[in-house]
Structure 1
Amino acid sequence: MITRYLSVLLFGIVTFFPPGLVQAGAIDDAVRRGVLKVGINPNYIPFEMTDKRGHIVGFEVDLLREMSKALDVELQLVEVAYTDLIPELLANRFDMIGSGMTVTQERNLKLNFSDSFIIVGQTVLLHPRLAGQVSSVEDLNEAGYRVAATDGTTGEAAVQRFLGTAQLRSFPTPEEGVQQLVIGAVDAFIHDAPYNLIAMAKPQNRELLALEQPFTYEPLAFGLKKGDYDSLNWINHFLNQIAQDGTYDRLHDKWFRDTDWLPQID
């Protein structure tokens, strides 16, 4: 059973905007079209990932399915590289981003974000040879350490910010980063706490060590084009509703309280 230590941030606060600023947006377009198109990169366990049948599943995917059900539309997941999510949204390839995206000040200059649906933080996985040598993230800030992260993620940004002296090794997917750690090609891997927690539960990774206390504060949210206040209003109401009616807790327990689903993941 996975320890549930992630904090949930669902404010339930609906933001009202001046009448002149309220306009139809992505949600209304999805309703008219009958399809909600969501940009996603299915490489973030347990939020979005591919199972052995080739289906994209996960906690955030289930939230999106509930959202589509509430809108009475079909959900269409559009797979893109994580670093292409914002450019592809701005190029109108899909309606919104639903891919484990952390709200940052830099991203908020380009996007509007919904209320957060969960709070995570970066944690550290260590190669067993570092046992007794590293007890905090600060201990890794030395030129001799090779620290892996995933391209374009806040884990990569955290290494750059907190571990400027260490050697950063970036990989396209977190699975590659963990694999490099297992074979000893890097000394540490930094990624979001939920992913690292579940990675540690896999048999091939059980020799790894972990610094389980997150050292950053990262709210995850849905991203939309700037100025789409009507869609933000609807999504925030939706998040508040599922927090109140038990849907959120049911889905959270499904993906975070145990690992029964792990054997089905590719």
Structure 2
Amino acid sequence: MNWSQFFTSSVGKKITMALSGIFLILFLIIHAGLNACIWANDGGVMFNKAAHFMGANVVPRVLEIGLFLFILLHIIQGLVLEVQNRSKRGIGYAVKMGNRGSAWNSRAMGILGALILIFLVIHISDFWIPSRFGGLEPMFIDNATGQIVPEGTPGAKEYHDLYGEMRHQFTAYPWIIIIYELGVIALFWHLIHGFQSSFRTMGLTNHKYIGLVKGTGVAYSVIICLAFMLMPLSFYFGWIQ
């Protein structure tokens, strides 16, 4: 079996989904950690510096390209597997198994993935595209004091004010918050199944460890998604300035 046959086989698709899923799981840790800088409540200094580092250095930019490739691969393989699974089910069971056969979120991974995709398109258009291709107001930070200073101040460095754009979006448009919260809820249920499924596919099926994997997956999903849900709410309710 050559590489082409492997990646088009059922097993190959599942392994591709698992590996790309694990990569995205790791990415979410980095993304949540960077976004958590908003809670420094320093007017966006720490967050904008962290965002600038991610956008101005070679290694993060290369990883960013890999991220988009993995997201695309994950979506394509997920759609292919969903179509194949639905075609194999055919007419289906005379008696619906419901949650006795499998958890509802494992059966709804395609729908959850589609909701997350819609959320991603909005998220990228709102924040990633302006931060990479312009359209954000500048912020000037004195590198010696770490304070926000007026333009032209000696020793000040210019940063894209992505923090200010987040504050504007999440305070001026409540409907965006609703979309974000719904997107994160879909992500939560997607992760609950996808986390343990990815490690199962990669061979971690020993009963001694599978409980640990499931527990870690639930804890991970709760922490990551709770952090993402609190971020827009923190701006909207004025918990941070």
Normalised by the length of structure 1, the TM-score is 0.27
Q: More relative contact order in 1 or in 2 (CA 8 Å, sep 6+)?
A: 1
Normalised by the length of structure 2, the TM-score is 0.28
Q: Which has the higher helix share?
A: 2
